[in-house]
Structure 1
Amino acid sequence: MILDNAYDLGLGQRRVMFGSAGAEDQVEHTTDLNDKLQDFVTRVCFGDIWQRDGLSYAERSRITFAMLIAQGKSHELRVHARGALANGVSVLELREVVVHSILYCGIPAAVEGLRALEEVLVEQDRSFDLDGEASRDH
């Protein structure tokens, strides 16, 4: 792996979004099997694309979460729900991404997105009370 500015930026971005488990721990456990993937993720994904002007980190997180719902990528949904919250995306905004995905991705994909979000909220001991909408519906 070549250490350079893009790599350093990428590692820093991973640290902000995913903590040391998603940054240093991933890199320190790089093997000959996954070194190219880890280098690409750190350097290109988080050191280049996530650093571009035009979208904030929160906007990139909302978009990423939506695309992962569309693809049904349950593991990555959990990872990026954590990252989105670290990037300042509110629980309400993530819930609305899930609701919006019902229209364009279908109910099963939205259910998987909601399941991932719920697991992260429980893990982080966050409230499910967002806007009082559930109590108005009954």
Structure 2
Amino acid sequence: MAMRPEFQSEQFKKGLEVRRAVVGDAYVNKSLDSADDLTAPLQKLVTEYCWGDVWTRPGLERKTRSFLNLAMLIALNRPNELRLHMRGAINNGITKAEIVEVVLQAAIYCGVPASLDAMKAAREVIAEMEKEGPVA
């Protein structure tokens, strides 16, 4: 993977390390490898500030950040990002049972349609990850 010049800052590298640890190399490589002049600025912003600044702050553990992301993405009805962050949540130690609890909590506060979509995403992600190995 050839790195674009704008992807060379220390903050980018710091964020890239966390991003890879949470959502996995395959997703990150695909995102960065497909970056072009149009999309590279957004990849830089996301990697440096989301992953390199916020995700590395000492105030919350990664697992807690993952809980928050799941709840917010359910509330916002963002199924693609939700699937990605479910994988990240499991990588950060969230169990299948805890994902069910987040979805149930969201059903009350975000609505049944949002929770049904979230449970569908959870089923898909967990099934996919179980092909790779056991999921807690």
**TM-score per shorter chain, which class?**
0.7 to 0.9
CA-CA distance at 1:5 after TM superposition: 2.3
Q: How far apart are residue 23 of structure 1 and its match?
A: 2.0
Unaligned runs of at least 5 residues, structure 1: 131-138
Is the CA contact 1:18–1:82 (under 8 Å) kept in the aligned structure 2?
yes
Matched, 1:119 2:135: no
Q: Is the 8 A contact 1:11 1:24 kept in 2?
A: no
> Percent identity between the aligned chains?
38
Q: 2:27 and 2:73 mapped to 1: Cα distance?
A: 18
RMSD: 1.5
Per the normalisation by structure 1, the TM-score is 0.86
CA distance in 2, matches of 1:90, 1:74: 19
> Paired residue for 1:76, among 57, 71, 81?
81
Matching residue of 1:92: 97
- In the TM superposition, what is the alpha-carbon distance from 1:24 to its structure 2 partner? 2.9
Give unmatched runs, 5+ long, in structure 2. Answer: 1-5
Contact 2:7 2:13 in 1 (8 A): no
Asked if 1:18 corresponds to 2:23, the answer is: yes
Q: Supply the distance in 2 between the matched residues of 1:24 and 1:48 (Cα, whole angstroms).
A: 20
Q: Distance in 2 between matches of 1:117 and 1:2?
A: 32
TM-score normalised according to structure 2 size: 0.88
